[in-house]
């Protein structure tokens, strides 16, 4: 994947769905770009690109071009990590093609990253697959965990206690990790919380955080787990996609 020496790529965190989450640093980086690439994820997830389009229309001047591309689908195969690795290779190849097509003489490219490039997002890993001469920069954004705790009005951690950020897959396969009483769980498409022993556990859940159709729920896990599972299924059916996250806490501070 070759590219000109004079390519600069900015990965810009844009928050969790609310245009007001955009920072001044993000706006500055967007306006400085010669090209912004926007991924299309199919009709079922049109909300995601519609938001990016709206942000571009609001922030950009006529000097920045916006080009859309179709994001490839991840293969369904038993080896999850291998499937993700192949998927990232395919995305990087598309980026390299778009760079060669639209910035043949070099320039500044930007990609708008949902949330923040640092937290359970693979944009940084994909970018590092490109030509090593491309200079990368990163603009942090509001994360879904920030939006979740703000929506519920709760702190992320119990007093003087640690927090483990993990995935639904790890929670489902390994159970509650030892040595920590607060879990922030992301990328859980199968509601792993519903299979945990619920006694003494509190959950704070949120979907579409920051967006107009934001949905939140909270309470003792034994009381609300089934309701959250049903709500999540209904929302996914209604919108065609869902992005949600939740906080679990056990012990005396589980409230």
132-141 tens-digit pLDDT: 889 999 999 9
Residue keyed to tokens 């997830």: 45
pLDDT digits (tens, 9 = 90+) for 207-230: 999 999 999 999 999 999 999 999
Tokens of 136: 């990368």
Residue 203, exposed/middle/buried by CB under 10 A (0-12, 13-18, 19+)?
Answer: buried
Does position 48 have pLDDT exceeding 60, yes or no?
yes
Q: Name the residue among 25, 95, 103, 26 with its Cα closest to residue 65.
A: 103
Do residues 117 and 138 touch, judged by C-beta distance below 8 A? yes
pLDDT at 216: 98
Look over the chain and give the mean of its residue pLDDT values, rounded to a whole number: 93
The side-by-side arrangement of strands in the sheet containing 201-207 is: 164-167, 182-186, 244-250, 201-207, 215-220
Closest CA to 4 of 97, 139, 105: 105
Q: Rounded mean pLDDT of 78-97?
A: 92
Please say whether the beta carbons of 38 and 66 come within 8 A.
yes
- The separation between the first and the last C-alpha atoms of the chain, rounded to the nearest angstrom, is 51
Mean pLDDT for the stretch of residues 132-151: 95
pLDDT greater than 90 at residue 148: yes
Residue 44 pLDDT greater than 80, yes or no: no
Q: Which residues pair with 34 in a beta bridge?
A: none
HSE (side-chain half, CA atoms, 13 Å) at 65: 12
Over 50: is that where the pLDDT of 3 sits? Answer: no
Say what the pLDDT of residue 31 is. 96
- pTM value is 0.90
């Amino acid at each position: 994947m070759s590219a000109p020496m004079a390519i600069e790529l900015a990965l810009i965190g844009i928050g969790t769905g609310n245009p007001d989450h955009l920072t001044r640093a993000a706006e500055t980086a967007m306006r400085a770009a010669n090209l912004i690439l926007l991924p299309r994820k199919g009709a079922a997830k049109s909300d995601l690109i519609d938001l990016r389009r709206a942000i571009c229309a609001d922030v950009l001047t006529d000097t920045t071009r916006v080009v859309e591309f179709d994001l490839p689908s991840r293969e369904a195969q038993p080896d999850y990590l291998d499937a993700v690795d192949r998927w990232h290779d395919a995305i990087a190849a598309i980026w390299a093609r778009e760079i060669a097509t639209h910035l043949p003489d070099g320039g500044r490219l930007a990609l708008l990253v949902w949330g923040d490039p640092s937290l359970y997002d693979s944009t940084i890993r994909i970018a590092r697959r490109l030509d090593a001469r491309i200079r990368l920069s990163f603009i942090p954004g509001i994360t879904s965990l920030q939006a979740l705790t703000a929506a519920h009005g709760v702190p992320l951690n119990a007093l003087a206690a640690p927090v483990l950020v993990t995935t639904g897959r790890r929670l489902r396969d390994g159970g509650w990790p030892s040595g920590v009483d607060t879990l922030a769980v992301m990328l859980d498409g199968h509601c792993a919380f519903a299979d945990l022993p619920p006694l003494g556990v509190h959950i704070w859940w949120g979907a579409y955080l920051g967006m107009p159709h934001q949905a939140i729920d909270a309470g003792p896990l034994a009381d609300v787990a089934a309701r959250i599972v049903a709500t999540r299924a209904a929302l996914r059916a209604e919108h065609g996609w869902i992005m949600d996250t939740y906080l679990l806490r056990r012990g005396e501070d589980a409230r």
